[in-house]
Amino acid sequence: MANIPIKSVLGAAAVIAAAQSCGKMPEKPNVIVILADDLGYGDLSCYGAERVSTPNVDALASAGIRFTNAHCCSSTSTPSRYALLTGSYPFRRTGTDIAAGNAGMIIRPEQYTLADVFHDAGYATGAFGKWHLGLGSETAMQDWNGELDMTPKDLGFDYHYIMAATADRVPCVFIENGKVDNWDPDAPIEVRYDKPFEGEPLASTNPELLTKLVHSHGHDMTVVNGIGRIGYMKGGGKALWKDENIADSITVHAVDFIKSHKGSPFFMYICTNDIHVPRYPHDRFRGKSPMGLRGEAVLQFDWTVGQVMAALREQGLDKNTIVILTSDNGPVLDDGYQDKAMELCGDHRPGGPFRGGKYSAFEAGNTVPFIVYLPEGMKHKSTSNALVSQIDFVASMAALTGVEVPDGMASDSRDSHLTWLGKNETDRDFVVSMALNRSLEIRDAEWKYIEPSKGTKFFRLTSIESGYSLDPQLYHLTEDSGEQGNVAAEYPEKVEEMKNRLEEVRIANF
Ligand code: NG6
Ligand code: CA
């Protein structure tokens, strides 16, 4: 039943009835997606990490299902999140690459989103934390001192408390329901990405301002909270965030939402800033990891997960809430700040057994932790090796909640909810993902093909193998999950077959 197009799904009510009969599914379970940032396959203790312990995430995994072959749709944030929320591959549209903090909203209101699914199912919906999909109807035209004219509200989210882009990009403020939270009338906000504001200090010209973190590459523009950022910003005053409080702010708002919606079904999209750069966790995590700031940021992520679960328990909602925890892309150590992530990593392998990392076409770029916490009584198994993809969020959650996806929407998304709920271990037919240079890879449960593409073999600044090659690459994943031997020359028919399958996906005309 997995992987069938949504249009051929039985009546949704029938699907829910079937699920209920075999596993005590609550009638309208709350659904929480916890999306970590740059958290690698090997960064959690339940995925084998030994130099960091993540008890709260591990508890989620023991109460649910831990997937060992789950993939995001791109090895960077914006395109990955675009796919998760729309069920449409980011390569189908231009403008889906890593977004600036003043990018206009990339998903357009007419697109059907994961939030629309839940909205149509009668759920209250909220987005929290890192957004990174643009805001406002037009790039660089946002009024950060008034109300934004296009926001997640236009995409099915009733409520949002978000960061426009990333913690290393201006504007360094939270936005609540279209307005800068804590907006300071004495410090009106201006944001630019094309040129600096005259007379404003920069990280490149005023290094004495870098009191908290110093950059290693990039991040030499406006300084906020003693840390250099990407982009230029003026003003902000009391609205400016303190990096050490970001996790707390996101968590507090998420917990408040849980408390105020305990009486009716809700969907939450909680995107932590951890463990993206700049890594500057709260004092209470400092000195707690042998891996320094990056390890402490993992601990802080784990803390957020613990707070969300504790809130569910306190409200008696752990019995009817499904929590799906995953990451937007693979890991990186030095992503532009001198936080000693590389030096203190020791034998920790953030990408687990996989090759490459963030930005890369190799497996560590898009093989991500994926844990589905299920209410008591619904648990069928503890790990699943099924091949699954984040592209299936929209169709799977539509099937789960009994919503019909409108024709022509979320066309790449397939209903995999029975696999996600552990009722079968059916592999997706194929999984496609995109690397930084927009080249594509396709894999099935056995083989992986990386299409030829131009570009450096090694990202020097981040020390990550790109996986790019002018030659076609074929890896026999069942024997070589570490992608050590390109066997394209030995299996020309397989190369042809995978290439054609990729081509079919690419040119699909929905
Ligand atoms: C890169 C940034 C990196 C990070 C990334 C986006 C530099 C030198 N590097 O351009 O620090 O922000 O973009 O990461 O500026 S993502 O996880 O949001 O895709
Ligand atoms: Ca990311």
| Per-position pLDDT tens, the chain of length 510 | 233 333 333 334 434 434 443 456 778 999 999 999 999 999 999 999 999 999 999 999 999 999 999 999 999 999 999 999 999 999 999 999 999 999 999 999 999 999 999 999 999 999 999 999 999 999 999 999 999 999 999 999 999 999 999 999 999 999 999 999 999 999 999 999 999 999 999 999 999 999 999 999 999 999 999 999 999 999 999 999 999 999 999 999 999 999 999 999 999 999 999 999 999 999 999 999 999 999 999 999 999 999 999 999 999 999 999 999 999 999 999 999 999 999 999 999 999 999 999 999 999 999 999 999 998 777 666 999 999 999 999 999 999 999 999 999 999 999 999 999 999 999 999 999 999 999 999 999 999 999 999 999 999 999 999 999 999 999 999 999 999 999 999 999 999 999 999 999 999 966
| Alpha helices in 376-458, H assignment, sequence order | 393-401, 417-420
Question: 3-class DSSP state for residue 373?
Answer: strand
Atom 16 in ligand 1: residue holding the nearest Cα: 77
Distance CA 351, CA 339 (A): 19
Determine if ligand 1 sits within 6 Å of the CB of residue 203: no
Determine if ligand 1 sits within 6 Å of the CB of residue 18: no
Position 376 scores a pLDDT of 78
What one-character DSSP code corresponds to residue 88? S
CA of 335 to the centre of ligand 1 (A): 7
- Ligand positioned closest to the Cα atom of 231: 1
Position 510 scores a pLDDT of 66
CA of 91 to the centre of ligand 1 (A): 19
How buried is residue 11: exposed, middle or buried, by Cβ count under 10 Å (0-12/13-18/19+)?
exposed
Atom 15 in ligand 1: residue holding the nearest Cα: 218
Atom 13 in ligand 1: residue holding the nearest Cα: 98
- Nearest atom, ligand 1, residue 132 CA: 18
> Which element (helix H / strand E) includes 270?
strand 266-271
Question: 3-class DSSP state for residue 1?
Answer: coil
Question: 3-class DSSP state for residue 334?
Answer: coil
Q: Within 13 A of 234's CA, how many CA atoms are on the CB side?
A: 10
| Residue 146: both structure tokens together | 């008034």
- Ligand positioned closest to the Cα atom of 35: 2
Q: For the chain, report the end-to-end CA distance as a whole number of angstroms.
A: 22
Question: 3-class DSSP state for residue 160?
Answer: strand
Distance CA 345, CA 138 (A): 41
- Measured from the Cβ of residue 193, the count of other Cβ atoms closer than 10 Å reads 17
pTM of the model: 0.95
Atom 7 in ligand 1: residue holding the nearest Cα: 218
Q: What does each C-alpha distance from 365 to 181, 352, 467 come to in angstroms? A: 34, 11, 10
Position 13 scores a pLDDT of 40
- Ligand positioned closest to the Cα atom of 168: 1
Position 247 scores a pLDDT of 98
Atom 4 in ligand 1: residue holding the nearest Cα: 335
- Nearest atom, ligand 1, residue 335 CA: 11
- Measured from the Cβ of residue 495, the count of other Cβ atoms closer than 10 Å reads 18
Give the residues across from 326 on adjacent strands.
35, 370
- Nearest atom, ligand 1, residue 218 CA: 8
Residue 387 backbone phi and psi in degrees, to 5: -75, 115
CA of 37 to the centre of ligand 2 (A): 4
Distance CA 167, CA 291 (A): 21
